[in-house]
C-alpha cells in the first residue's frame, strides 16, 4: 500500500500559485492562544518576517483566559508593527463554540478582510506563507491548506517530525485524487464568504477537531478546496514535549479520524493491522518470509519519506525509520488503550470526554 502511495505521490503535478494583484489583498491572520507565553513570541516574530506588505496584514490574537503572560509577551513581540495588530480577550462563548473554536468565532467576527488565514501559537510561519496560500485561490474555492512539520532538537522531536510529514504525504496523495480528507487548523486559509455561508463556528456542532468540522460544513455547501504540499507554505510546529502530551494530542485527532468516510477508515485499520498480519505470515511461511515483508515495508516507507522531504526541500532522516516503526507501534498501542478506557483527554489545560 505504501509503495503504491509513493508512486502516485511522486507523479503528482502540483498546481501553480498565481501572481497576486498589485496591491495584494488585505488578509486577516487569526491566532488562538491559551497559556502560550513560551511559544507566542516565536510565532509573532515569524508573522513580522512575512514577505507581504504589512499594511495588508490584520493580525488578531485571541487570548483564551490565559493565566500566564501570553498577552504581555505578544504585545512586546508586535510593538511597532507597521500593520494592524489587536489582542482580543475571550471572556464569553458564542453559540455552540467552545475552546479554540470559540476563540476563532470571536476573531472571525472582529476581522475586517475577506480572507482568514488561521494558524496556532506554537507555529513558526515561512516568509512566503501568505502569498503561498492566497496565490492558490480560485473562483468557488473555500479553503487552501498548507503544510506543517514538527521541528525540535531531541530524538523524540525528530521522530514526531517524520511522523507528521509522512502522514501529510499520504493525506496529500488522497486529496490529489479528489477525495477530501481534512483541512489543518494550524495552516489554513478560508474565505470570509465560505465561513459566513456555513454560519461560523458558533453554529457548528462542538468538536475538539474544529478544523475538520468546519471543513465538512464547507464541503456540504459545495465549495471546492485545495491542499498544497510545497516549501512556500511549510510551517514549523513545536513538538509535544512528553509521551503523555503526545497521546492526548493524538486522541484529540482520533476524534476527527472517526468522522472520515468509511473507506478511508478501513484503509487506516488495514494499515494498523500490518504487524498482526506479519506475525501470521511468519507463523505460516517462516521467519524469512516475515523479514522479507518487513523489509519491503521499510523500503516503501523510505521511498515515501524521500519523496515527501524532497518536495519541501529537506533531507529525509532515513536513519530514523527503524525507530519510527517502534514509535508507530507504541502510539497505536497507547491510543488503543486510551480509546477503550474512555478516560477524558486534556488539551490546553481543559478536559474533554467522549
CATH classification of the domain holding 61: 3.90.550.10
- Rounded to 10 deg, the angle between the 321-341 and 287-311 helix axes is 100
Q: Give the tens place of pLDDT for each residue, 251-271.
A: 777 765 555 555 554 555 555
Report the pLDDT value the prediction gives residue 51, as an integer from 0 to 100: 96
Q: Which of 180, 191, 150 is nearest to 25 (CA)?
A: 191
Length of the chain: 354
Span of 81-95, 132-146, 244-258 with lowest mean pLDDT: 244-258
Contact 93, 102 (CB under 8 A): yes
Q: Which of 19, 236, 267 is nearest to 132 (CA)?
A: 19
In a domain, 265, yes or no: yes
Report the pLDDT value the prediction gives residue 219, as an integer from 0 to 100: 94
pLDDT average, residue stretch 21-50: 96
In a domain, 33, yes or no: yes
In a domain, 344, yes or no: no
List the domain range (segments joined by +) for residue 104: 2-8+24-256
- Cβ-based burial of 81 (10 A; exposed 0-12, middle 13-18, buried ≥19): middle
In a domain, 333, yes or no: yes
Same domain, 104 and 186: yes
Name the domain count of the chain.
2
Same domain, 45 and 120: yes
Q: How far apart are CA 152 and CA 121, in angstroms?
A: 16
Same domain, 206 and 306: no
What order do you get walking across the sheet with 27-33 strand by strand?
84-89, 57-63, 27-33, 115-120, 187-191, 141-145, 224-227
Same domain, 187 and 139: yes
Q: Give the tens place of pLDDT for each residue, 162-171.
A: 999 988 888 8
Helix (H, G, I), strand (E, B) or coil at 227: strand
Contact 175, 227 (CB under 8 A): yes
Query: Helices (DSSP H) in 111-240: which residue ranges?
Result: 129-134, 155-176, 192-197, 210-220
Q: How far apart are CA 81 and CA 85, in angstroms?
A: 7
DSSP run (H or E) holding 180? none
pTM for this model (two decimals): 0.88
Same domain, 173 and 310: no
Same domain, 38 and 57: yes
Q: How far apart are CA 253 and CA 132, in angstroms?
A: 26
Report the pLDDT value the prediction gives residue 334, as an integer from 0 to 100: 86
Same domain, 157 and 99: yes
DSSP run (H or E) holding 60? strand 57-63
Amino acid at each position: 500500500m505504501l509503495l503504491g502511495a509513493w508512486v502516485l505521490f511522486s507523479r503528482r503535478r502540483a498546481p501553480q500559485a498565481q501572481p497576486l494583484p498589485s496591491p495584494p489583498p488585505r488578509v486577516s491572520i487569526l491566532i488562538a492562544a491559551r497559556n502560550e507565553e513560551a511559544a507566542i513570541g516565536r510565532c509573532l516574530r515569524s508573522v513580522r518576517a512575512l514577505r507581504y506588505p504589512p499594511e495588508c496584514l490584520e493580525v488578531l490574537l485571541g487570548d483564551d483566559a490565559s493565566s500566564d503572560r501570553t498577552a504581555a509577551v505578544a504585545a512586546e513581540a508586535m510593538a511597532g508593527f507597521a500593520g494592524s495588530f489587536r489582542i482580543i480577550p475571550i471572556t464569553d462563548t458564542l453559540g455552540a463554540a467552545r475552546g479554540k473554536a470559540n476563540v476563532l468565532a470571536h476573531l472571525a467576527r472582529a476581522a475586517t478582510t475577506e480572507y482568514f488565514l488561521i494558524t496556532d501559537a506554537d507555529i513558526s510561519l515561512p516568509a512566503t506563507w501568505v502569498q503561498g496560500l492566497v496565490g492558490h485561490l480560485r473562483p468557488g474555492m473555500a479553503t487552501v491548506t498548507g503544510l506543517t512539520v514538527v521541528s525540535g532538537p531531541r530524538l523524540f522531536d525528530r521522530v514526531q517530525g517524520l511522523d507528521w510529514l509522512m502522514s501529510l504525504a499520504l493525506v496529500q496523495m488522497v486529496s490529489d485524487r479528489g477525495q477530501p480528507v481534512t483541512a489543518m487548523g494550524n495552516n489554513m486559509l478560508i474565505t470570509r464568504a465560505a465561513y459566513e455561508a456555513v454560519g461560523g463556528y458558533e453554529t457548528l456542532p462542538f468538536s475538539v477537531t474544529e478544523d475538520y468540522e468546519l471543513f465538512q460544513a464547507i464541503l456540504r455547501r459545495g465549495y471546492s478546496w485545495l491542499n498544497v504540499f510545497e516549501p512556500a507554505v511549510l510551517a514549523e510546529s513545536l513538538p509535544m514535549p512528553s509521551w503523555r502530551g503526545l497521546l492526548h494530542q493524538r486522541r484529540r485527532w482520533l476524534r476527527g479520524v472517526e468522522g472520515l468516510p468509511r473507506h478511508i477508515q478501513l484503509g487506516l485499520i488495514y494499515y494498523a493491522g500490518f504487524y498482526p498480519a506479519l506475525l501470521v505470515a511468519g507463523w505460516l511461511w517462516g521467519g524469512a518470509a516475515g523479514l522479507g515483508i518487513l523489509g519491503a515495508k521499510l523500503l516503501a516507507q523510505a521511498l515515501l519519506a524521500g519523496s515527501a522531504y524532497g518536495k519541501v526541500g529537506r533531507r529525509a532522516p532515513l536513519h530514523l525509520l527503524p525507530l519510527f516503526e517502534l514509535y508507530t507501534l507504541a502510539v497505536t498501542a497507547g491510543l488503543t488503550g486510551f480509546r477503550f478506557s474512555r478516560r477524558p483527554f486534556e488539551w490546553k489545560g481543559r478536559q474533554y470526554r467522549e
